[in-house]
Structure 1
Amino acid sequence: MLAFQEKRQMLRRAIYIFFTITSALLMTGCNSFLVSETEINQEVEKLLAEPQSNQISLLVEGNALDIDLVVKKADVDLTARDGGLVLVDLDTNLEGVLTAFGQKISISASVEPSFESGVRIEEDRLYLTSPRITEVKVQGTSFTDKMLSSALGSVHGELEKALVKYFDTHPVYILNHSPFEKTAASLVKDIIIKEDTIELSIF
Structure 2
Amino acid sequence: IHRAFSELGVRPRRLVLLLDVSGSMEPYARALIRFLHAAMVGRRDVEAFALGTRLTRLTRELSTRDPDAALARAAVAVTDWSGGTRLGDGLRSFNDNWGVPGMARGATVVILSDGWDRGEPSVMEEQMGRLHRVAHQVVWVNPLKASPGYAPIARGMAAALPHVDRFVEGHSLDSLRSLAQVLAD
TM-score normalized by the length of structure 1: 0.23
Please say which structure displays the higher CA radius of gyration.
1
Which structure features the higher share of strand residues?
1
Higher helix share: 2
